[in-house]
Each structure stands twice: as structure tokens, then as C-alpha cells.
Amino acid sequence: MANCNAVQKEIDKVLSKFAVMKEESAKEIDDVINSFAELKKKIENGGDLQEGEKLFLACNSITRNVLSRISNNHKDLHNQVSKVGKAIDRNFTSDFEAIITDPSFECRNDLLNKSIAEHLIREGRIDITDILARESGMLFTDENHELFLKLHCILEELKNHHLELAIEWAESCKNSFQNTNSHLEFTLHKLQFIKLVKKKQLTECLSYATKHLSKFAVEHTSEFQTLIGCLMYVNKGLENSPYSHLLDAQLWRDAEILLLKEACYLNGLSVESPLSVVINAGCRALPPLLDIKNIMHQRKCNDVWSNKDELPVEIELPNENRYHSIFACPILKQQTSEANPPLRLICGHVISRDALLKLATVNKVKCPYCPVEQQTSEAREICF
């Protein structure tokens, strides 16, 4: 945090300098404009030529002086901006490869390019995805290409408060939503109803509520009553009514998030792209990893961290970035990994593969917690 504050201090100096320079320069330029306006007026009125010449030379001198001062101020501002760059270099690490030692991690450009392409498709940047695939020589095909292209168009319309595409898509997925208890269709119709209320179209509001909202009256009783109740203030406007919360812009942002979640859920996809999840987790992991790397270097124990499957320190991630429970083998008292996954015995107890191999005798193993015996081949790998 101290590093961020140090950089912010330099940025504040630049912004302050820029504000002062802008104010002073604007005043001086206005003075020059006024001087030339006065000169023009005298010439047009047919004044004394000698006096006009003196005024012209004075204006020329003022202009040169102002230009010189603005140029010098710009140089000072440039120096101040340079200090920001130096502060960033001084307070932050620019070479993050210092925490990676070959061959601890392998560089897979093909997988990296694929992750970037998938992220761009999620953002609706199909044109950039095509350029990336062409320039990297990547044979990229994504079965969700059309889905995210359509979804991006719907979200763009929704951001502009146009609900037609979103409602059409939600109604086409009505059967699927019944299995997930989704509130998306009601949310979209609710926003369309509020749009009609804002336009003070009472007849249209009643007609829309009867046709599209009445079927949600039982499931969303409280919200349905609120929507009908707000009709009392159609002519007066909702701004100063007990229903002013219906005008909150957050309702539209929540609808965008809900639509994205529902679309991804129906297609078995995560809401966030894997690339953004990895980058966010990596940003959290970098500071402690840099610290531990410096400590290892100072104590000359650089070879301590050499395992690909684990980090030297625990990295705390938010709950939304926790996808699997961590299983620790009760026999060997160690966490399982890809090389040593958890296995389910036929009796239902779970141990690690290494524990199974240690307990096995002539391709048979007895469960350490119950009398059941089985073939080692009958153990099944499980994922938490």
C-alpha cells in the first residue's frame, strides 16, 4: 500500500501542475486574443498608422512571451510526468519472471493464445479473434462462437434499455428456465413495464401487466403488487413517490448480470472467462510470491521452491474463485494432487492413490476403515 501511495503522490503533483498550467495558459491566451481584437478594431476604424504599428509590435511581443512561458511550463510538466514513471519503476516490480525458474513452469503459447481467443469471443470481439488466429497460425474453433456473438448483441441492446431481443431470447428458453427457477423473464418484463410507466402510458401499462406480468403474480407476489401500486403515480411521476426505487439504474445492471449468468448456466459455461479468473488470481498471488522469492534469495535457499504442483505459501482467494474442495488423505496426511488424486473404494471410503498403492497386497487392498476388500483396479478416481 505504501508503494501505491508513493506513486499516487507523484500523480497528484502532475494533476495539480496541469490544473495550474491550464488556468494560467487560458488567461494569457485570452489576453493575447483581446490585444489582437483591439488592434483589429483600430485598423478597421482607420486609426493612426504609427500608433497601429506600435500596437502590432506590442501584440507580437506579448504573443512571443506567452508562447515562451507556455513552452517552458510544458517542459516542467513533462519532467513531472517523467517522475511518475520513475516512481512506478522504483516502487513496483516490472520483471515478474524473477519468481519463475525454468523448468518449474512450461510455456504453452498455443494454450495461451486459445485462452485469449476464448476471452475475446466472450467480449464479442470476433474481428480481433480472427486476426489473432490468423497471425498466430492457430487453428481455433469454438462451439460457443455463435452463442456469445448473439449474447453480446443482446447485452448491448440491454445497456441501451432496449429489451426486445432479451425478452425474445428469454421466452425461447422458457422451458429450460422452468427447471432452474430462473427469474430472468419476469425481470425483463418488469423493466419493460417500468419503461411504460415512465412514459405515463396508463392504458398500455395495464394491458402489458395483464398480458405479460399476471402469470408471475403468484411466484413474485410482492414485486407484482409493487408494480401495480406504482400506477397510482403514473401522472405525477415516480421520482417523488414511494416507488422511486423502480427508477434506479442498478435494476438494469442487475438484469445484464442475470442474463449473462443464466445464458452461461444453460450452456454449461462459467460466467467469467478462464483468462480473467487466472489473471485476477495471479494478481493476488504475485505480491506474496515476490516477497517469498526475495526472502529465499536473501537466505540463499533458492532451491526450496521447485515443485510444479504447489506454491511455497498459501494464497488467499475470494470465495467466488474457489471451485473445488481440497481433499487431504487421512492415511498419508497430505493433500491430493493431479499426480496423486483421491480414489473412492467400493465401500465408499476415500483415500489417495499413493495410500492405495502402499496398502495394496498382490493387487488387493483392504479398506483401512472397514473390513471390505477389493481389487485395486476397482478404485475410482473422484473429483471434488
Q: SS3 sequence, 299-333?
A: CCCHHHCCCCCCCCCCCCCCHHHCCCCCCEECCCC
State the average pLDDT for the chain.
Answer: 83
Per-residue model confidence (pLDDT) at position 93: 64
Per-residue model confidence (pLDDT) at position 307: 55
> Does pTM top 0.75 for this prediction?
no
- CA-to-CA dists, residue 251 to 159, 213, 245, 256, angstroms: 11, 17, 9, 9
CA 230, CA 238: separation in Å to the nearest integer?
7
Average pLDDT over residues 18-42: 83
* Cell numbers standing for residue 146: 455463435
CB 382 within 8 A of CB 348: no
How many residues would you count in the chain? 384
Tell me the Cα Rg of the chain. 34
> Of the segments 36-45, 104-113, 150-159, which one has the largest average pLDDT value?
150-159
Q: What is the pLDDT of residues 156-177, one digit of tens each?
A: 899 999 999 999 988 888 777 7
